[in-house]
Amino acid sequence: MSIASRLHGCFTAIVTPFTPDGRAVDLSRLEENVRLQAAGGVQGIVPCGTTGESPTLSEEEHALVVEAAVRVGRPLGLAVVAGAGSNSTSHAVHLQKLARQLGADCGLQVTPYYNKPSQEGIYRHFMAVADACDLPVMLYNIPGRAGVAIAPETVERLAAHPNVVAIKEATGSMDSASEIRRRCGIAVLSGDDSLTPSFAAVGAVGVVSVVSNLVPARVAELCRLLAANDFHAALGVHMGLLPLSRGLLSLDVNPVPLKCALAALGLDSGVVRLPLAAASPAAAAAIRELVAAAGIVPARPAVAAAR
């Protein structure tokens, strides 16, 4: 089965667990979390993305995380879409080739950030990556972090390349998602948990989810219901997830609230790397309340976050 045919449903933007001192990746915890995602029934995982704090990883750590995701996840049936983007085209090409070498199914390629390229520059950037090797590309459209969006007409041009197979739409714009679907057949996945049903209504086929780090089975079920056009049942699941979906992305910057929630459940040390900082006591208390209200049961005694 080709990866293009598997890019639907729930893909978890998985966190990168760090040791309590933040100096190293906690590979054993990462492997355990990958197994929990597989047990929850998600379609795949996305290591080394925004949620995985990719800007703070050394290249050696980046490779370790992707290798572990592939080694543990693939035998369990998970597709692995490895973060491989950069605001340097040559570096993005390098990371795409590295993802292929490590056995990933697809590379997640973010819009070049900080540079603020024109649409022609964006097009040439992604084409260089797509031409570099035969690993499929999932575009990542997130203007809130990149400073510039991939316009629908640019997506249409890129979708003509056989290696450009999907787009993670984190614009928050129904107009953008709708226009992309009108223009081409590229697989669209929501980049915002709170918008998954809305995007599905205009043809999106899944979500790259933050919340599924906590409740993979619930988000996977939401995607299955949406694919089956059972919007009544999907609405019930969505409304149950909505407080988590909104809270985890509003109480602090992602992945700070998520790691705080995972620590409360014993699934992470809770440590984030600078320039991110731990959630404030007030935010941490609100996050724990959200987790409790969602009825999520701790996996083991909570691991205290390093302060």
- Catalytically annotated residues: 140, 168
* CB neighbour class for 302 (10 Å; exposed up to 12, middle 13-18, buried from 19): middle
Say whether 35 sits in a helix, a strand or coil: helix
Alpha-carbon span 261 to 89, nearest angstrom: 35
- With contact defined as beta carbons under 8 Å apart, do 171 and 143 qualify? yes
Alpha-carbon span 278 to 5, nearest angstrom: 39
Alpha-carbon span 193 to 42, nearest angstrom: 14
Q: Distance of CA 50 to CAs 46, 63, 186, 225, 254, Å? A: 10, 16, 22, 27, 8
Alpha-carbon span 273 to 202, nearest angstrom: 37
Alpha-carbon span 152 to 216, nearest angstrom: 30
- With contact defined as beta carbons under 8 Å apart, do 138 and 96 qualify? no
- Nearest-5° angle of CA 293, CA 298, CA 301? 135
- The pair phi, psi for residue 264, each rounded to 5°, is -65, -25
